[in-house]
Amino acid sequence: DVVMTQSPLSLPVTPGESASISCRSSQSLLDGNGYNHLDWYLQKPGQSPQLLIYLGSNRASGVPDRFSGSGSGTDFTLKISRVEAEDVGVYYCMQGLQTPLFTFGPGTKVDIK
Amino acid sequence: EVQLVESGGGSVQPGGSLRLSCAASGYSFSSHWMHWVRQGPEKGLVWVSRINFDGSATTYADSVRGRFTISRDNAKNTLYLQMNSLRAEDTAVYYCTRESAAVGTRYMDVWGKGTTVTVSS
């Protein structure tokens, strides 16, 4: 079975600075068409999760351009440039290629220092 | 506006049953695969089940297979999750999610607000 890991699990950030979260998969998430089936979701406090990044590097509709996703295969990164107070919450990566499908990472809690 | 609204949660004793519903609006419901994802108290997200466009294909997490049944009524734009033989570890917020319609992709692009299920004696 595929295993998803994230680091760090807790990330205090200073507004205006950048922050990065790593997500690693125990198996490649790159399919034969060149798509990386790795997505990022943000769950703000008291809210349901929302899609941030899909297929590794594509911003979802309405997501600010300070959010970017990169990586391929087994290693992926979510970067937040110029962190704002509204970016606090738990960030989850999720894979949609390997068995079992739709495996989430443990989550990274981002809060303001 | 695209919207998913879950209902049907509540408190139930171990071994009991509940049926969750998810009413979809603002888009063509029958054009999207759908999912249920749950989140235990102070825990992370766990995928539960998935159903295809017309309900002819379903998949389940090992933890719920044989106890939960996902279904849909495209005429009513509604997704369901029938939960039987409930256990304490099924206690969670249950989210209904929409899968992207883009060919070859599987991300969840719309999430409901969730409905809470508590299994306790």
Render pLDDT for A74-101 as a digit per residue (tens, 0 to 9): 999 999 999 999 999 999 999 999 988 8
The number of C-beta contacts closer than 8 angstroms across A and B is 64
> Which residues of B fall below an 8 Å CB-CB distance to A?
35, 37, 44-47, 50, 59, 61-62, 95, 100, 104-114
Return the pLDDT at A78. 98
Q: What distance in Å separates the CA atoms of residue B86 and residue B34, rounded to the nearest whole number?
A: 22
Smallest CA–CA distance from B114 into chain A, residue? A48
Locate tokens 């899909």: which residue? A54
Return the pLDDT at B41. 96
Asked if residue A34 has pLDDT above 90, the reply is: yes
Q: What distance in Å separates the CA atoms of residue B87 and residue A82, rounded to the nearest whole number?
A: 44
Distance from CA of B106 to the nearest CA of A (A): 6
Q: What distance in Å separates the CA atoms of residue B79 and residue B5, rounded to the nearest whole number?
A: 10
pLDDT 10s digits, B91-112: 999 999 999 998 888 999 999 9
pLDDT 10s digits, B42-78: 999 999 999 999 999 999 999 999 999 999 999 999 9
Q: How far is CA B116 from the centre of its chain?
A: 12
Distance from CA of B120 to the nearest CA of A (A): 23
Across chain B, what does the average pLDDT equal?
A: 97
Return the pLDDT at B104. 83
| Cβ atoms within 10 Å of A42's Cβ, excluding its own | 21
Q: What are the strands, taking DSSP E only, across A8-113?
A: 10-13, 19-25, 38-43, 50-54, 58-59, 67-72, 75-80, 89-95, 103-104, 108-112
Across chain A, what does the average pLDDT equal?
A: 97
Tokens of B37: 């994802």
Q: What distance in Å separates the CA atoms of residue A21 and residue A105, rounded to the nearest whole number?
A: 11
Return the pLDDT at B103. 84
DSSP state, B110? E
Q: Could you say which of B47, B105, B113 has the minimum Cβ distance to residue A102?
A: B47
Return the pLDDT at B100. 95
Distances (CA, A) of A51 to A62, A63, B58, B110: 10, 9, 23, 7
Return the pLDDT at B45. 98
C-beta of residue B29 within 8 angstroms of C-beta of residue B43: no
Distance from CA of B60 to the nearest CA of A (A): 10
Return the pLDDT at B30. 97
